Amino acid sequence: MLSRKSFTLKLWDRINSHCRKRRLFKDKDSILLAVSGGPDSVMMLDFFAKLAKKRRLDLAVAHLNHKIRGANSDRDEAFVKKLGAVYGLQTVTGTADVPALARRLKISLEHAARRSRYGFLVKLALKKKYSLVATAHHADDHTETVLLNLIRGTEPKGFLGIPVKRPLYIKGARKVFVIRPLLAVTKKEIMAYLKLNRLPHRRDESNEDEKHTRNWLRKTLLPLIEKKQPRFRAHMLELSAKLGRVLQRKDEG
């Protein structure tokens, strides 16, 4: 069994290698960290905070209170504010009545939350002059997204899953990109990282409800597939990367 230090350094090395290979950020970049308070974003925050001095990064924490989980949403916000203070980072929070937005636009809560979250992040990044927004999507999220697209019916680009980096805003010289540094690690590894490093985090009970297709994929279907093929998630990442290169060549041709 790896020690805390060995396990931590191993994951950091993999994330750093992924970031270098995909050119996600460089020294002295300004990065807005989207932190929900859940396990994934807490690990991402810890990673960047430990890396900031060496790479001379300008970091800030952003959190949007979606008002979906009542008092728990307010506790999430308070937790992130406290966490940002522990790391000595500026923390900016905002609120959005996502249930009301979903009703008004007649869209799902998930889509309304995503729309509100990215709108908040882009406005904040532009205001604070941050060129990058980092979200904590990981390898499992990528696999779930590909399978979800497959189930719903998709064009070939649906197999690309979650992009490693994409533009959120481009207008003249002003550009904001979203980056996903944790796509190189799995949820299991994230949870082990938090346990070994004794990092507190918040838990969203809605992620356990299998009436949502994504939750069913994560909790029921994927474990069944992985009994036959333990490297299924890694294979999905490789497939998406290969298909991305094929589609890029087609577009360029």
User: What are the φ/ψ torsions at residue 233 (nearest 5 degrees)?
Assistant: -65, -40
Residue 101 has pLDDT above 60, yes or no: yes
What DSSP element (H or E) covers 19?
Answer: helix 4-21
For 179-208, what is the mean pLDDT?
A: 90
Percent of the chain with pLDDT over 90: 67
User: Which superfamily, per CATH, for 4-252?
Assistant: HUPs (3.40.50.620)
- The model carries a pTM of 0.91
| pLDDT confidence band for 131 (50 / 70 / 90) | very high
| pLDDT confidence band for 183 (50 / 70 / 90) | very high
For 202-216, what is the mean pLDDT?
A: 76
What DSSP element (H or E) covers 31?
Answer: strand 30-34
CB neighbours of residue 205 within 10 Å: 8
